[in-house]
Amino acid sequence: MAALGKALGLLRKHTCRATEFRSAVDEHASSSYTTRLMLFGGALSVVVFATASVPTMYVDTNTASRACANLQCDVLDTYNRTDAVKVLEIADGWVRVTGKGDALGRLTPEWINLADLAFEKPMVPATGATDLAIVMAESDDYLRFGERFETAARLLIENDLCSEEQLLASSGWDAPAISGAEPIYSLVCGKRRVAMNMRDLSIVPPTI
């Protein structure tokens, strides 16, 4: 599973060369899966078919499932952070899951964006956590940065860039639209958006 996670991590970041990706996939020798490298529109992708046990992934960011592997497809259901899903297939940045099932228990396959899932269950604030910690736990990629998001929020308060009331009205930190070398996340503070680098907790100017 570790090798498979490594391969999927390379694919998710869109930074791997074909040789790196093939090496990562080749490390995965479990008989429980059939892993294939395929080309979609000229881009290298991995498809993983479960042949024995069905692996579990967890929702890392509140999301919706769709009828097919495309953002233009119909929404079938909604999933909250920490929800567990059974994986049937991973293809071209999307994961086909068994779905929640209807009133009769019938399962209809659904697709969820791979970027919204993780193999490890996301952390959640401890019992008795502050209201600010609970809101910050709704941030994108909370599994990656955890309590650092709350620390960043408190720095905004200390620097008079946001009030606690404004932060509590937000939905946490938003991941960058385009992946870059630095983890720059932003949130809405009142009527403006403030950005911070989560690596060193520096405020990224200008605020807009």
Per-residue buried b or exposed e for 185-198, using 16+ beta carbons within 10 Å of the residue's own CB: bbbbbeeeebbbeb
Helix (H, G, I), strand (E, B) or coil at 3: helix
pLDDT band at 182 (very low <50, low <70, confident <90, very high): confident
Asked whether residue 32 is assigned to any structural domain, the reply reads: yes
Q: Decide if pLDDT at 176 tops 80.
A: yes
Q: Which of 18-32, 35-49, 139-153 has the lowest mean pLDDT?
A: 18-32
Shared-domain flag, residues 88 and 15: yes
Shared-domain flag, residues 114 and 139: no
Shared-domain flag, residues 145 and 108: no
Q: Based on the structure, what is the number of domains in the chain? A: 2
Shared-domain flag, residues 13 and 64: yes
Shared-domain flag, residues 144 and 200: yes
> Span 53-67, mean pLDDT?
84
Shared-domain flag, residues 9 and 69: yes
Q: How far apart are the first and last CA of the chain?
A: 42
Task: Give the angle subtended at the CA of 99 by the CAs of 177 and 101, to the nearest 5°.
Answer: 145
Per-residue confidence (pLDDT) for residue 191, from 0 to 100: 86
Q: 186 or 44: which carries more pLDDT confidence? A: 186
Q: Which of 118, 152, 174 is the last residue of a domain?
A: 118
pTM for this one?
0.46
Shared-domain flag, residues 106 and 51: yes
Per-residue confidence (pLDDT) for residue 180, from 0 to 100: 67
Shared-domain flag, residues 23 and 92: yes
Asked whether residue 124 is assigned to any structural domain, the reply reads: no
Q: Which of 96, 118, 140 is the last residue of a domain?
A: 118
pLDDT band at 21 (very low <50, low <70, confident <90, very high): very low
153, 166 in Cβ contact below 8 A? Answer: no
Asked whether residue 123 is assigned to any structural domain, the reply reads: no
Per-residue confidence (pLDDT) for residue 66, from 0 to 100: 93
Q: 188 or 3: which carries more pLDDT confidence? A: 188
Q: Which two tokens stand for residue 121?
A: 């269950």
Asked whether residue 144 is assigned to any structural domain, the reply reads: yes
What residues make up the domain containing 15? 2-118
pLDDT band at 31 (very low <50, low <70, confident <90, very high): very low
- The CATH number that applies at residue 88 is 2.30.30
110, 66 in Cβ contact below 8 A? Answer: yes
Percent of the chain with pLDDT over 70: 64
Q: Decide if pLDDT at 20 tops 50.
A: no
Asked whether residue 21 is assigned to any structural domain, the reply reads: yes
Shared-domain flag, residues 135 and 114: no
Shared-domain flag, residues 156 and 110: no
pLDDT band at 92 (very low <50, low <70, confident <90, very high): confident
Please, what sign has the CA dihedral across residues 193, 199, 62, 51?
A: positive
Q: Helices 2-13 and 18-26: crossing angle, nearest 10°?
A: 160
The chain-wide mean pLDDT, for the chain, equals 74
Shared-domain flag, residues 110 and 137: no
Query: SS3 breakdown of the chain: % helix, strand, coil, rounded to 5?
Result: 25, 30, 45
Shared-domain flag, residues 6 and 109: yes
Q: 57 or 13: which carries more pLDDT confidence? A: 57
Per-residue confidence (pLDDT) for residue 29, from 0 to 100: 36
Q: Which of 57, 91, 118 is the last residue of a domain?
A: 118
What are the start-end ranges of the H helices in the chain? 2-13, 18-26, 131-136, 142-145, 148-158, 164-168
